[in-house]
Amino acid sequence: MQAEVDGKIIELSEAGWLNNLDEWSEALAVEIAKNEKIPEMTDEHWAIVNEAREYFEENGTVAEPRVFSKIMKQKYGKDRSSQKYIYSLFPTGLIKCANKVAGLPRPKGCS
């Protein structure tokens, strides 16, 4: 699978995960989001993507959903931290969708 961003071809895995994490950009995130059936990246989408990327940079691993919900609750409040809220923005959730859009590595056991 591939994505084209600014005239450059970016290689993705068969399932749409970024192969080279250094190639991530916001423009690529928008393309990956389209593949994930997210027609538009809103501020709410970007908040989740940015938090996921920040957690990864600080911890060297993707956040578990429960941990991520706690982070979101502390920063954005109860209404923007539930799994239901995250699924409303990312159809297959944090692990399969938001992390993919954020250009993070595929977690173990995730298809």
Show which residues are catalytic.
Answer: 110
d(CA 81, CA 68): 8
CA 44 centroid distance within chain:
12
Q: How buried is residue 33: exposed, middle or buried, by Cβ count under 10 Å (0-12/13-18/19+)? A: buried
